[in-house]
Amino acid sequence: MQQQIEKLIEDIVNDYANWQGLCAARNADTCNKVQKDMFDRFKSRISFKEGKKYIKIFTEGGSVWGFVVKQDDAKFRKGDILKAAGWNAPAKNAARGNIIDGGYSIQWTGPLYLK
């Protein structure tokens, strides 16, 4: 599951780069120093921490991006992505995708809302 978490983080960083206009991620000549610094700071500050039931994904400034389920339970499968309901708890209404199955929809700001 470590590889899937790393892939999720890579996808979050790529979405940030797309939102920013890709210049910083590609080190393009059109990129200004502020954009490059913002991208580098975002990329270096995204991390995760394992708890008993969930893996918590953090972004810049220690904000909670979302949670990933560590083990199957009564409602969710291992690898399900959950929005954050707060600092220490995921929103348990529905999964926003699964990192093991792939095909999830996320943004750098967090898992997408339900449709």
**Amino acid type, 86:** G
Q: How far apart (Å, rounded) are the C-alpha atoms in residues 12 and 18?
A: 10
Q: pLDDT tens digit string along 20-65? A: 776 655 555 667 778 888 888 999 999 999 999 999 999 988 899 9
Burial of 15 (0-12, 13-18, 19+ CB in 10 A): middle
Position with higher pLDDT, 70 vs 20: 70
pTM of the complete model beyond 0.75 = yes
Q: Let me know the angle formed at the C-alpha of 83 by 54 and 88, rounded to the nearest 5 degrees.
A: 50
**Are 68 and 99 within 8 A, CB to CB?**
yes
Statement: residue 6 has pLDDT above 60: yes
Q: Based on the structure, what is the number of domains in the chain?
A: 1
Containing structural domain, residue 74: 2-111
Count of residues in the chain: 115
